[in-house]
């Protein structure tokens, strides 16, 4: 059965028009406007910020948002409810801080499990925004990366494919280059991410996580610091496996009966309901 699943996956990947291409252009220099737009994607969160800097910036933004809501609300009791919700939102962000010190965090198998390493002076703060989540990553206590996960049901992207998502992003940031990863046990290549040229201290990737997690994602990071983080990871711990969760699930060797991934392709294609 596992062999048939592997074959089905390979055929499905080969049938995709996007995967049939070896490159998607790109690699050129961004315009000044595109570089500015890429920096603006990070919002008020600038590289080098500490946890405290981020919390302060977040608290200010939340206060402004709730101040407007409170001003529009005529009911005194509902105003008090909004003030309470404001404090809860700020507290939630502060409590979301995760220090990757070797303990299981709940994020070790998740949409961002390849964005961090344990015991490498890395940490993360999570922000819950409308129709998206923003993950802020720190190295040695300094912000260097944001990972933005858009809900596939977001009004702009609902019913759209990853190709459609990339087209929307391309309209703002220019043409990306298609990057590939190799399947573990085959010579076949699969799209890993779409990558835009570096714009100073910023680089942008688009990643398709819609199959497993229902999200289209953007990875905005400082390429210089990311290279330093990767080097430190390599020195401190064995290289982490790369690739795609779907690819890994169906190409790993057969496991014992009852393997929860045995029917993963059927579940994703809708042939089997959970």
Q: Is residue 60 in some structural domain?
A: yes
pLDDT per residue over 11-30, tens digit each?
233 333 343 343 444 556 88
pLDDT per residue over 153-212, tens digit each?
777 888 888 999 999 889 888 889 998 876 555 566 777 899 999 988 999 999 998 888
Q: Is residue 73 in some structural domain?
A: yes
- Helix and strand counts by DSSP (H, E) for the chain: 10, 8
**228: which 2 tokens?**
């330093």
Q: Is residue 219 in some structural domain?
A: yes
**98: which 2 tokens?**
């995760």
Q: Is residue 28 in some structural domain?
A: yes
- Residue 254 clears pLDDT 70, i.e. is over it: no
The DSSP output letter for 75 is: -
Kindly report whether the global pTM for this prediction surpasses the value 0.85: no
Torsion of CA 31, 145, 245, 265, to 10 degrees: -60
Q: Is residue 236 in some structural domain?
A: yes
Give the whole-angstrom CA distance, residue 74 versus residue 59: 24
Q: Is residue 163 in some structural domain?
A: yes
**12: which 2 tokens?**
């499905």
- Residue 268 clears pLDDT 80, i.e. is over it: no
260 pLDDT tier (thresholds 50, 70, 90)? very low
Q: Is residue 13 in some structural domain?
A: no
Q: What is the pLDDT of residue 218?
A: 95
pLDDT per residue over 79-138, tens digit each?
999 999 999 988 988 899 999 999 988 899 999 999 999 999 999 999 887 778 999 999
Q: How many domains does the chain have?
A: 1
Q: What is the pLDDT of residue 159?
A: 84
Q: What is the pLDDT of residue 214?
A: 85
**Which single residue is written with the structure tokens 């049901």?**
153
Q: How many CB atoms lie within 10 A of CB 241?
A: 8
**173: which 2 tokens?**
């940031």
Give the whole-angstrom CA distance, residue 134 versus residue 5: 34
User: DSSP 3-state helix, strand, coil percentages of the chain (rounded to 5)?
Assistant: 40, 20, 40
Closest CA to 12 of 274, 247, 243, 231: 247
Q: What is the pLDDT of residue 227?
A: 96
Q: Is residue 268 in some structural domain?
A: no
Burial letters for 200-233: b for 16+ Cβ neighbours within 10 Å, e otherwise? ebbbbbbbbbbbebebbbbbbbbeebbeebeebb
Residue 236: give the domain boundaries: 22-177+197-244
């Amino acid at each position: 059965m596992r062999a048939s699943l592997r074959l089905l996956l390979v055929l499905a990947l080969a049938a995709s028009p996007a995967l049939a291409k070896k490159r998607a252009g790109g690699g050129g220099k961004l315009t000044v406007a595109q570089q500015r737009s890429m920096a603006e994607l990070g919002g008020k969160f600038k590289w080098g910020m500490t946890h405290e800097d981020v919390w302060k910036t977040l608290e200010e933004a939340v206060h402004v948002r709730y101040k407007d809501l409170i001003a529009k609300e005529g009911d005194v009791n509902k105003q008090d409810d909004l003030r309470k919700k404001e404090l809860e939102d700020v507290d939630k962000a502060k409590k979301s801080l995760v220090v990757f010190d070797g303990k299981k965090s709940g994020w070790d198998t998740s949409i961002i499990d390849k964005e961090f390493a344990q015991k490498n002076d890395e940490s993360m703060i999570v922000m819950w925004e409308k129709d998206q989540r923003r993950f802020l990553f720190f190295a040695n206590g300094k912000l260097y990366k944001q990972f933005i996960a858009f809900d596939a049901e977001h009004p702009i992207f609902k019913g759209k494919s990853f190709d459609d998502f990339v087209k929307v992003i391309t309209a703002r940031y220019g043409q990306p280059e298609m990057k590939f990863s190799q399947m573990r046990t085959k010579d076949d290549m699969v799209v890993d991410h779409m990558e835009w040229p570096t714009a100073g201290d910023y680089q942008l990737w688009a990643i398709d996580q819609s199959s497993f997690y229902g999200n289209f994602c953007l990875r905005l990071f400082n390429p210089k610091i990311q290279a330093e983080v990767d080097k430190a990871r390599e020195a401190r711990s064995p290289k982490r496996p790369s690739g795609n969760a779907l690819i890994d699930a169906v190409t790993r060797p057969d496991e014992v009966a009852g393997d929860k991934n045995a029917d993963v392709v059927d579940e994703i294609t809708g042939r089997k309901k959970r």
